[in-house]
Structure 1
Amino acid sequence: MILALLQAVLLVVGTVVLAVLQRGQDRTLTMTFLLFSATIVAGVGPLYRAVDPLLGGRNVLTLVCDVLMVLGTSTLLWGVAKAVGAARTWMRNVVVASCSVVLVLIVLAFSTLDPVPTTTAFMLSVGNQPTAAVYSIAQTTYLGLALGATGIICVLRIREARTGLDRVGLWALVAGGAFGAVRMVVVAVMDLAHVAGRIDVTHALGLPYDVTTPGAVLLVASGMLLLVVGHRVGQGRRAAALARALQRLEPVHARLGTDNEYPDSDDPATRLSRLIVEVNDGARRSRRPLDAADRAALAEAEAVLASA
């Protein structure tokens, strides 16, 4: 219960934080947090027992939560890929197609289960039914593969991280992907053992399941938050560096620069680029070498622009 509440609080707070930080930007990771939040919050025991009877008292809320988790994991993979510059059209098509197949499969499997009254231990109640194994393994395999793919993408992009927060966030997502992959195997073995009547195996794997399930959620949620916060910190640093470079280069431009009649721009990087070009043009036309201070200001501006 405590872990479930911790996950719920982290995800709800994270959804609000991301909604603010990603205002005016791509909201894929915010949507991921929202879907995960709805899944975890609805699964908290007292709330689940209060809501599911309103849906018929046959654990339809479990199906809703699992559908939301599959959708959230899909947006996670796509959102992280976009955040680190690894998104490709073929990847989006694979995610959409595989997600659709899994959703159809789990809805069909759920509809064929012998219903049981509202319970917060759904798979323990129906796990002896073969269709329940299909229901659980299908979604868990998809979650594990999607989280694993997210982790692989992050490993390949760690060297490109611009801030320490970016780096920690990527490693958290890698760890979350590893937990998700391990959980995939654990759940598959538990489900098959339950159908086969080997309840002893199911109980023996209870601890790995109890560790990897919240572990994957907490690590992935933390990684997403750190990735977005790190991106904002990086943006702030770049903006400050551009402002300093502009302030230092403007006096040089006033003395030596030429007016090339470029259109005005409110973008600092565009303005800095224009000043650099016009200072260099002015120095060439005057045929006077820049002094040490001017060369330093120009070099700083060029370095800041290259890293922006």
Structure 2
Amino acid sequence: MIIAVVQAVLLLVGTIVLLVLQRGQDRTLAFTFLLFAATIVTNVDPLYRWLDPRLGGFNVVTVISDCLMVAGTSTLLWGVAKAVGAARPWLRNAVLVSFVVVIVVVLVAFTVLDKPATTTTFMLDAGSHPAATVYSIAQTVYLGVALGATGFICVLRLREARTTTDLVGLWVLILGGVLGVVRMVVVVVMDVAHVVGDLQVTHALSLPYDVTTPGAVLCVASGMLLLVFGHRISRRGRARRVDAALQRLAPLHERLGVDNAYPPTDDPATLLSRRIVEINDGVRGARASLTESERAVLADAEAALETA
């Protein structure tokens, strides 16, 4: 229970941090944190034992929690893909279709299986039923494949990391993906062993399960936070470079720049781009030449604009 509480606290804190940092931006990752936090919180034993009897006493909280996990898995994959610039329409469609299929399978399997009374060890109590095996494997494979795909996407983006924080975040997400795949294999073997009556295998794999489950959650949560922090650090660095370029360019623009009567703007990058154009227009119009230092200042401004 202590591990579950730690995971829940991390995810709730992460949700708040992301909502603050991503104010006015895409909040897919913050929504992912919230879904996973709800999944973990509803599985904290005291809360589960209090809540489930009030919903019928046949572990409906389990299926609610697992559906939240499937939803969080979907937004995780899509959110990470957007965060690293790998979002594509085909990927969005694949995530959506997979989500719907898994939810339908989970709900049907839960409906037809013989459900025990409220228990915090649902699969241990119900795992001998084939429907319970389908119920568990469907969501486990989906989570494992999604985490593996997330890790693979991050591997492809390692060379594009702009900051050390970005790089560390990608590697932590890759580790989370590996743990997720290992967990998938472990759970599938445990479920199959349980339904065929080989409980010795199920008990033998309990330790790898207990390690990979929180390990995957903690790595993925930490990796996502690091990516967000890395992007924020990178944006601030680019903004500082643009502001510095504007200041260095001011004397040159005052001397040679022409007024192209652009509409007003508060965006520093747009303003820098316009001043570069106006300086180049002024140089060509006056047939003037730039000194070595002025050419260097102009080149630095163009470089700062490219990073912006």
Tell me the TM-score range normalised by the shorter chain.
over 0.9
Q: What does residue range 111-260 of structure 1 map to in structure 2 within 5 Å?
A: 111-260=111-260
Residue 4 of structure 2 is matched in structure 1 by 4
Residue 93 of structure 1 is matched in structure 2 by 93
| TM superposition score normalised by structure 2 | 0.98
Which aligned runs of 4 or more in structure 1 are off by greater than 6 angstroms? none
- SS, match of residue 305 in structure 2: helix
Cα deviation code 1:59-118 (max 9, x no counterpart): 110100000000000000011111111111111111111110110001110111212111
User: In the TM superposition, what is the alpha-carbon distance from 1:165 to its structure 2 partner?
Assistant: 1.1
> In structure 1, how many angstroms separate the alpha carbons of the residues matched to 2:298 and 2:37?
49
> In structure 1, how many angstroms separate the alpha carbons of the residues matched to 2:134 and 2:53?
25
Cα deviation code 1:212-261 (max 9, x no counterpart): 10011000001111111111111111111111110110111001111122
Q: What does residue range 10-159 of structure 1 map to in structure 2 within 5 Å?
A: 10-159=10-159
> In structure 1, how many angstroms separate the alpha carbons of the residues matched to 2:260 and 2:288?
19
Cα deviation code 1:247-281 (max 9, x no counterpart): 11011100111112222211111110111111122
User: In the TM superposition, what is the alpha-carbon distance from 1:135 to its structure 2 partner?
Assistant: 0.5
> In structure 1, how many angstroms separate the alpha carbons of the residues matched to 2:11 and 2:169?
16
Residue 275 of structure 1 is matched in structure 2 by 275
> In structure 2, how many angstroms separate the alpha carbons of the residues matched to 1:115 and 1:129?
9
- SS, match of residue 246 in structure 1: helix
List runs of 5+ in structure 2 lacking aligned partners. Answer: none
Residue 288 of structure 2 is matched in structure 1 by 288
User: In the TM superposition, what is the alpha-carbon distance from 1:283 to its structure 2 partner?
Assistant: 1.9
List runs of 5+ in structure 1 lacking aligned partners. Answer: none
> In structure 2, how many angstroms separate the alpha carbons of the residues matched to 1:92 and 1:306?
29
- SS, match of residue 125 in structure 1: helix
Greater shift in the superposed pair: 61-70 or 152-161: 152-161
> In structure 2, how many angstroms separate the alpha carbons of the residues matched to 1:165 and 1:75?
22
Greater shift in the superposed pair: 287-296 or 49-58: 287-296
> In structure 2, how many angstroms separate the alpha carbons of the residues matched to 1:233 and 1:42?
34
- SS, match of residue 19 in structure 1: helix
User: In the TM superposition, what is the alpha-carbon distance from 1:293 to its structure 2 partner?
Assistant: 2.5
- SS, match of residue 57 in structure 1: coil
RMSD: 1.0
> In structure 1, how many angstroms separate the alpha carbons of the residues matched to 2:48 and 2:227?
31
